[in-house]
Structure 1
Amino acid sequence: MKKVIVLTGAGGVLCGTLAKELGKKGHKIAVLDLNKDAADKIANEINAEGGIAIGIEANVLERDSLDDAKKEVNNKLGGCDILINGAGGNHPLGTTSNTHLTSGDLENTEEGFKTFFDLDPSGIKFVFDLNFIGTLLPTQVFAKDMVGKEGCSVLNISSMNAFTPLTKIPAYSGAKAAVSNFTQWLAVHFSKVGIRVNALAPGFFLTEQNRTLLTNEDGSLTQRGKQIIDQTPMGRYGKPEDLISTTLYLCDDASSFVTGVVIPIDGGFAAYSGV
C-alpha cells in the first residue's frame, strides 16, 4: 500500500537518503527542511527517478510553520500516513572540551575551552529543543491525519548515546534519551487509535556535523574517531544506506505488531565491552 510520508530534516544526508529510497518504493514524499533549497534538491532527485515528492521549508520549532507545511502536504499529496522525525543535532555550547574533568582544567584560560561548569544553558536548551521539541511538535501536527486510519506510524530518530551517554556531549545525549523515552510513551498513548511509534538509534555515521570531529583534513581518523572505530566491532562508520532496511521494515505493514521499540543500528558498538 502506497502512503504519504513526511520527513523532517530531510534535506540532510541521512534522512535525504531515506526519502529517496521511500520515493523509489512508490510512496508520496514530503521533504521538510529548514533549508528550502536542500529540501527541493532531494525532492527533485526523487521526481527525476519517477517518484512523487515535494520540498517544503519548515521549522520544527515553530507551530505555525508546521501548520503551513501540513496544509501544503494535504493539498498536494493527501493526509499524512507516516511521519519520520529526522530533524536534530548538537551545539558547541552544550559540549565540553575534554572527556574528563581535572583540577587543572579550572585554571585553563584558553579561549573556547569549556568544562562542565562553563556549559551555556542557552546551548543546552537549543539542543533539547531541536531534538525533543522538534520531535514533539511535528508529531502533534501531522499525526492528527493518522488517527483511525490503518497502516500509520511515527518513526523517530534517537541515538545510541541515548542508552549510554557519550563523553563531551551531555546535552545531545540527554536530548536523545528524551526522544527514546518519548517514543515509548507515545507508543502507549497512540496504541488505541492505530498509530505505531518506533525509533531508530544510529551509532556513528559520518555527517557534515561531526566530520571535523572524527576525521582530519586528509581523511585519517582523529583520536576520538579512532577510539570510536576501535569500540565498533564491525570496524567502520555507518553509511546512510545502513538505515534503509530497518526504516522500510518499520514503515511497512510487516511490522504491524511492532511499537514502542528503539532499534540500534550501530555495528555492534553497544554490544562490545571493550575487552
Structure 2
Amino acid sequence: MNILERFSLKGKVIVVTGGTGILGKAFVKALAEAGCKICIIGRNEERANERVRLVNTLGAEGFAVVADVMDEQSMRAAREQILAKWGTIDGLINAAGGNIPGATIGPDESIFDNKIADTIKAIELNLYGTIIPTMIFGEVMANKGAGSIINISSLASSRPFTRVLGYTVAKHGVDGFTKWMSAELALRYTNKIRVNAIAPGVFLTEQNRTLLTNPDGSYTDRANKFVQGTPFSRLGDPSELEGTLIYLLSDASAFVTGETIFVDGGFNSWSGV
C-alpha cells in the first residue's frame, strides 16, 4: 500500500458527535470530501439535516441522528440505527462539548462566586460527553478489531485558561481518558484500534463568541491576548483541523495512539519570549 492509499478513508463509516457545531461542520465537510459515510449526531435536528445536505452536495453519504451524548440509552439507540443502515462503525469523532455561559467566571467576579452547578455541567458535557459515546461506539470497533477514535482536547489541558474552571478540568480529563483508553483497547483487543486527541488552538465558535468578541465584532482583550501569545499571530480557522483529523483516522497514523496533537499556531510551544 503506497502512502496515498494509507491516507484513504473512502467508504469508511465515521460517527461525528457534535456534528452540528462549528468545528463539527469542518469535520463533516472533510470526511465527505474523503468519501466517508458519515453519521451526524446532535441535538438540533434542523442543523443536523443541514449537515446531511452538505455531505450530499459533496458526493458522499450521510444521515442525521438526533441524540444526546449525555444519555447512554440515546447513544445506544443511535448505535443501532447506524448498524442497521451501514452494518459497521470504523471511526468516532467526539466533537460534542464546549463551555457554557454559567460556567464562565466574569472578569470582575470572585472565583468563589463561581456557579458550582454550572461548572459541574461543563465538566460533564466535555468529559462524560466524550466517555459515554466512546464506550458505546468503541465497543463495535473493539469487537471487529479495528477503528480509530478521536477526542477533542484543548490548549486548556496544557496551559490552563483563567475564568473557565469546568472546561479546563474537563479537558485535562479528556487527555487522561485518551491515554487510558488507548492502552486498554490495544492491550485487551488489538493494535488495530487507536485513540488519539486533537487539541485545537483558539478558534472562534458559538460557545466562545461572547468571550472573544465585542458586540461590534471586534476582538476582546482576551482574544487579543490569545493572538499575542500565538507565534502565527492570529486565531485558527476550523478548516486547519481537517488534515490532522484525516491523518489520525487513516492508516497513515497506524502506529500513533494515546497522543494529543496540538493544532494551535505554536501557542503551546512558545514561552512568550
TM-score by length of 1: 0.91
- Say whether 1:33 aligns with 2:42: yes
Q: 2:35, 2:224 → 1: CA distance?
A: 40
- Say whether 1:85 aligns with 2:94: yes
Q: 2:100, 2:205 → 1: CA distance?
A: 14
Map 1:1-275 onto structure 2 (within 5 A).
Answer: 2-98=11-107, 114-192=109-187, 193-194=189-190, 195-275=193-273
Are the aligned partners of 2:40 and 2:62 in contact in 1 as well (CA < 8 Å)? yes
SS at match of 1:257: coil
Residue 138 of structure 1, CA deviation: 0.4
Output one character per residue of 1:21-53: Cα deviation in whole Å (capped at 9) or x when no partner.
111211110000011111111011101221100
Output one character per residue of 1:96-149: Cα deviation in whole Å (capped at 9) or x when no partner.
212xxxxxxxxxxxxxx6321111221111011101110111011101111143
SS at match of 2:186: coil
SS at match of 1:197: strand
Larger radius of gyration: 1
What is the percent sequence identity of the aligned residues? 41
SS at match of 1:199: strand
Q: 2:210, 2:142 → 1: CA distance?
A: 43
* Residue type of the alignment partner of 2:230: T
Residue 70 of structure 1, CA deviation: 0.8
Q: 1:97, 1:206 → 2: CA distance?
A: 19
Output one character per residue of 1:195-242: Cα deviation in whole Å (capped at 9) or x when no partner.
200000011001121122212233321111111111111011110111
How many residue pairs were aligned? 261
Deviates more, 1:171-180 or 1:71-80: 71-80
SS at match of 1:198: strand
Q: CA RMSD in A?
A: 1.3
Q: 2:124, 2:37 → 1: CA distance?
A: 28
Are the aligned partners of 1:151 and 1:256 in contact in 2 as well (CA < 8 Å)? no
Are the aligned partners of 2:94 and 2:130 in contact in 1 as well (CA < 8 Å)? yes
Residue 78 of structure 1, CA deviation: 2.2
Q: 2:52, 2:46 → 1: CA distance?
A: 10
Q: 1:254, 1:190 → 2: CA distance?
A: 19
* Residue type of the alignment partner of 1:132: L
Structure 2, unmatched stretches of 5+, are 1-8
Deviates more, 1:85-94 or 1:200-209: 85-94
* Residue type of the alignment partner of 2:98: G
SS at match of 1:190: helix
Q: 2:35, 2:112 → 1: CA distance?
A: 51
TM-score by length of 2: 0.92
* Residue type of the alignment partner of 2:240: D
Residue 151 of structure 1, CA deviation: 4.2
* Residue type of the alignment partner of 1:22: L
Distance 1:36 1:206, change over 3 A: same
